């Protein structure tokens, strides 16, 4: 379905599971888990069907970011972290959701970090999955070379230094297969390379989300794969150091790349489930 969060902005939204469930003689309200997909330029479908396994403990909200996937097209100038963070809050208002648990994967993690800084009292919990707070090009290059040799390093250097259609093609061919051992979800997702290239050439080049993380007022779980080339482990550690220590939780996964819930679903979903169900400190 499409939800109008403003008169000119409609987001495609899908809901899995009920909010209220019968529990003996009472009705029990489950928390709401909102999933922010990666990209930019992709859609929410990469989360399906993996996240369905959490529907017993949370109502799950999938949606496509403004201008992405099945959401209505928007001018490229609107596709900024500030708009995406505002959209999340507006969507919650439209759906009557209070204190959501927000999970941001990769680019969705950029959105979640900006949202956490701009609206620190809005979420009940946040999960930052395989994401970074800044471009950190040298770390990317080192990991791509470790996993794919000099050709992967060069393709990554050319793309991230000058994102365009010419540098994207070799990057997609050489570097993207190194992200993760699991590829099915990527094949299902729609993609808009114009969004990817525009955003990678502009906002991502100067992005620095670390200062805002100090504003966090809720538990934040950081998940990272030790073999992630595009959001390397050291980027995740930067995030953990920027978060208030009383709210930060961190789990790293050996042998995993970009999207630990893809490469080690049993361990990753066990950790996510634990975080969702645990009481706040």
CATH number at residue 251: 3.40.50.1820
End-to-end CA distance of the chain: 36
Which tokens hold the place of 9? 């902005």
Residue 198 resides in a domain: no
Closest CA to 13 of 81, 79, 90, 76: 90
* Domains of the chain: total: 1
| Residue 22 confidence (pLDDT) | 85
Helix locations, 52-191, DSSP H: 81-95, 107-118, 137-161, 165-170, 184-188
Residue 174 lies in a domain: no
Q: In what order do the strands lie in the sheet with 9-16?
A: 2-6, 9-16, 59-63, 32-36, 101-105, 125-129, 220-225, 248-253
Question: How many Å apart are CA 262 and CA 253, to the nearest integer?
Answer: 11
Q: Does residue 60 lie within any of the structural domains?
A: yes
Contact 132, 235 (CB under 8 A): yes
> pLDDT value at position 184?
52
| Distance (Å, whole) CA 137 – CA 156 | 9
pLDDT of residue 168: 97
Q: 52, 121 in Cβ contact below 8 A?
A: no
Residue 201 lies in a domain: no
Would you say residue 79 lies in a domain?
yes
> What local confidence, expressed as pLDDT, does residue 33 receive?
98
Would you state the pLDDT for residue 187?
A: 59
User: Average per-residue pLDDT in the chain?
Assistant: 95
d(CA 218, CA 227): 28
pTM: 0.96
pLDDT in the model for residue 185: 47
State which residues form the domain around 214. 2-136+207-277
In sequence order, the 6+-apart residues with CB closer than 8 A to the CB of 277 are 57
Residue 16 lies in a domain: yes
Residues of the chain with pLDDT under 50: 185
Q: Is residue 199 part of a domain?
A: no
Quick check: is 227 in a domain?
yes
Contacts with 129 (C-beta within 8 Å, 6 or more apart), sequence order: 103, 104, 105, 106, 108, 109, 223, 259, 260, 261
């Amino acid at each position: 379905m499409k939800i109008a969060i403003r008169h000119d902005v409609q987001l495609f939204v899908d809901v899995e599971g009920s909010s209220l469930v019968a529990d003996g003689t009472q009705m029990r309200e489950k928390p709401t888990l909102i999933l922010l997909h990666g990209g930019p330029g992709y859609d929410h479908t990469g989360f399906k069907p993996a996240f369905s396994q959490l529907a017993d403990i949370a109502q799950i909200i999938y949606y496509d970011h403004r201008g992405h996937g099945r959401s209505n097209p928007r001018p490229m100038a609107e596709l900024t972290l500030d708009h995406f963070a505002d959209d999340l809050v507006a969507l919650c208002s439209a759906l009557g959701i209070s204190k959501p648990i927000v999970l941001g994967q990769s680019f969705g993690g950029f959105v979640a970090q900006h949202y956490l800084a701009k609206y620190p009292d809005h979420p009940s919990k946040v999960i930052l999955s395989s994401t970074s707070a800044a471009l950190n090009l040298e770390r990317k290059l080192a990991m791509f070379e470790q996993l794919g040799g000099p050709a992967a390093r060069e393709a990554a250097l050319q793309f991230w230094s000058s994102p365009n259609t010419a540098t994207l093609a070799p990057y997609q061919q050489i570097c993207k297969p190194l992200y993760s051992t699991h590829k099915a979800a990527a094949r299902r997702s729609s993609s808009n390379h114009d969004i990817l290239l525009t955003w990678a050439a502009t906002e991502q080049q100067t992005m620095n989300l670390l200062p805002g993380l100090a504003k966090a007022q809720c538990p934040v779980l950081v998940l990272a794969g030790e073999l992630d080339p595009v959001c390397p482990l050291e980027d995740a550690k930067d995030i953990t150091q920027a978060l208030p220590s009383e709210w930060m939780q961190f789990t790293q996964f050996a042998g995993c790349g970009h999207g630990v819930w893809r490469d080690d679903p049993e361990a990753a979903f066990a950790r996510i489930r634990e975080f969702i169900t645990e009481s706040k400190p």
